[in-house]
Amino acid sequence: MGNLNGLDSNRLDLLERAVHNVLNTEVALETYAQIIDGLPLADVAHNQWTSPHVRLPPDHPINRHTSLCPGVLERTEQYRSEFGIHTLEFDENVVNAFQSAPFGKRHFQLRLIELVTLAVHQMAAQLFNKNLRTHDKHLGPSSDSIEAVVFWASQKPVHVSGVLNAEAHFFTHPSYDNLSSYPKRAGDVVGYWAEGRILGGVVSFAASEDPEPNPSLCSDRTSGLPAVGYCRSGL
């Protein structure tokens, strides 16, 4: 992995502004806040896991997690305000391709999108690996711990043909849950989940004979964009 030292000031400034523009969206704030909290909101969980193959039963305890825990939103806003892009690492080949692409051309724009996607992913993995789990610090008499929610099993017969990835604590994209194939393991699983929430799907740049990157989108949300092309298998 490389860093951003090879970028000229114009390209670095554009990348920083692009990443911060994404961070300043409501969906990004809510997504990273849920990672800091330790559990997704109930409506997000159902949106993520409602399909012909995987669905959450109506009595699942995640249904009681309808709002972020106290202080989580403020902590997320602080993280956003203090975030610096140099805390992330990027594939050196992608950085070099962005630097060498003609400024403003389609190839340049696609490489910018690729770097922003990698930033979105890494920020989620970074936050998850901090193991903040704010939710467990605000448990009340009727609250469910993260562990209780993740490992809950209904006593009623339900038709569920998929398994939620416990290590990623519900922050799992159905097409990207193979822990053993990812360098950051659960962190990368959460990174793909964040891409799905913030970008509408996991963005891939397939190899092609065309010198320009060939992007595709793999969406898991029933209300989101359809999956196109192929889904990447790793970072």
DSSP assignment of 126-148 equals: HHHHTT--GGGGG--TT---HHH
- Judge whether 219 lies within some domain: no
- Judge whether 207 lies within some domain: no
- Judge whether 67 lies within some domain: yes
Element (H, E) at 216: strand 214-218
- Judge whether 65 lies within some domain: yes
Number of domains in the chain: 1
Q: Among residues 89, 172, 166, which one has the least CA distance to residue 126? A: 89
- Judge whether 92 lies within some domain: yes
26, β-bridge pairs:
none
- Judge whether 19 lies within some domain: yes
Rounded alpha-carbon distances, angstroms, from residue 58 to 27, 89, 140, 176, 179: 25, 41, 22, 25, 28
Say what the pLDDT of residue 73 is: 94
pLDDT at residue 114 tops 50 = yes
Full-prediction pTM beyond 0.75? yes
Measured in whole angstroms, the distance separating CA 13 from the mean position of its chain's CA atoms is: 23
pLDDT at residue 16 tops 50 = yes
* Domain housing 52: 9-164
Cα angle 56-60-61, degrees, rounded to a multiple of 5? 135
Q: Residue 78 is encoded by which pair of tokens?
A: 């602080």
pLDDT at residue 228 tops 50 = no
Q: Which of 24-33, 49-58, 110-119, 165-174 has the lowest mean pLDDT?
A: 49-58
Element (H, E) at 204: strand 202-206
